[in-house]
């Protein structure tokens, strides 16, 4: 009879080691792995006090600028002071350079450049998240900024008719500045999706958005308050974006499953 001491022991299994790629890419940008099944669970991620305070402050600035324009306060006087200053006439040598630079804030060219880079990144990671995040951000921006543009109907400085007037409800689409808000969101999302150079990307994105907003004032295409509201509107989208990550994850799971079913269908 075989004793208990001589019974064969089951070999102990070592835990599987993580690959180098998984260590290098923390968070949602890790090496591609099988997506978990969609159980229909959806919850908003918690918001830190710092982010909540920044979101509230940005929303307050946005509302103050909007109220200042609607009530024809000193902010409108500031708009007209800069308009009558005519920066493009005082410093005409800057106009060719700044007229080219402002293209970086236009929706079409900036979106094409951003999506081209994000498509390469998505292919490298084997994930759709970079493209989905940018798509959600631009959709949210167009809805929020477009709604305010339509409601206010403000005319731009070149089409203003009465000195000292806020030029509201006249069929214009100038408030808030879409150029400025688009620059904040497009380049801000690229910094948001960065892994190794996130802080550097955030500084570059902020400098780009600030310079494009000031350039529109120099060219006379926007009022000062348009730019202030555009900065606030774009920043609100960036601050709201982390709250939409569960929605992005759900959409990514469904698209991956649909792609897999079509790929292996006979």
**Alpha-carbon span 217 to 227, nearest angstrom:** 8
Which tokens hold the place of 239? 């601050």
Buried-exposed string 17-32: b where 16+ CB fall within 10 A, e elsewhere: eeeeeeeeeeebbbee
Residue 47 has a pLDDT of 82
Segment 87-126, tens digit of pLDDT: 999 999 999 999 999 998 888 888 899 999 999 989 988 8
Mean pLDDT of the region 7-34 = 43
**Alpha-carbon span 121 to 98, nearest angstrom:** 30
Residue 45 has a pLDDT of 75
H-run or E-run covering 197: none
As to burial, measured by CB atoms within 10 angstroms (0-12 exposed, 13-18 middle, 19+ buried), residue 164 is exposed
Segment 202-219, tens digit of pLDDT: 999 999 999 999 999 999
Which tokens hold the place of 71? 């009530």
Q: Any idea how long the chain is? A: 266
Q: Do residues 36 and 210 make contact, with C-beta atoms less than 8 angstroms apart?
A: no
Mean pLDDT of the region 21-34 = 42
pLDDT band at 257 (very low <50, low <70, confident <90, very high): confident
Name the 3-class secondary structure at 146: helix
Q: Can you list the alpha helix ranges (DSSP code H) found in the chain?
A: 20-24, 49-70, 74-85, 87-90, 95-101, 107-125, 129-152, 178-193, 198-219, 224-240, 245-264
């Amino acid at each position: 009879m075989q004793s208990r001491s001589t019974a064969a022991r089951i070999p102990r299994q070592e835990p599987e080691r993580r690959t180098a790629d998984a260590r290098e890419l923390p968070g949602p940008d890790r090496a591609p792995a099988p997506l978990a099944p969609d159980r229909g669970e959806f919850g908003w991620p918690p918001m830190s006090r710092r982010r909540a305070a920044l979101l509230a402050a940005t929303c307050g600035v946005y509302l103050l600028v909007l109220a200042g324009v609607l009530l024809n306060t000193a902010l409108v006087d500031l708009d007209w002071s800069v308009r009558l200053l005519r920066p493009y006439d005082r410093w005409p040598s800057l106009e060719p350079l700044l007229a080219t630079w402002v293209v970086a804030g236009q929706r079409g060219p900036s979106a094409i450049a951003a999506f081209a880079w994000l498509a390469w990144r998505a292919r490298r990671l084997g994930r759709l998240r970079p493209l989905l995040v940018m798509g959600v951000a631009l959709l949210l921006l167009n809805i929020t900024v477009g709604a305010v543009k339509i409601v206010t109907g403000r005319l731009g400085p070149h089409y203003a008719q009465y000195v000292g007037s806020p030029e509201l409800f006249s069929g214009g689409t100038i408030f808030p500045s879409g150029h400025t808000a688009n620059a904040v969101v497009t380049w801000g999302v690229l910094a948001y999706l960065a892994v190794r150079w996130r802080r550097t990307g955030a500084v570059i994105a902020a400098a780009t958005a600030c310079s494009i907003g000031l350039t529109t004032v120099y060219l006379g295409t926007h009022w000062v308050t348009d730019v202030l509201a555009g900065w606030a509107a774009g920043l609100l989208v960036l601050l709201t974006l982390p709250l939409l990550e569960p929605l992005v994850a759900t959409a990514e799971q469904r698209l991956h499953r649909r792609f897999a079913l079509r790929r292996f269908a006979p």
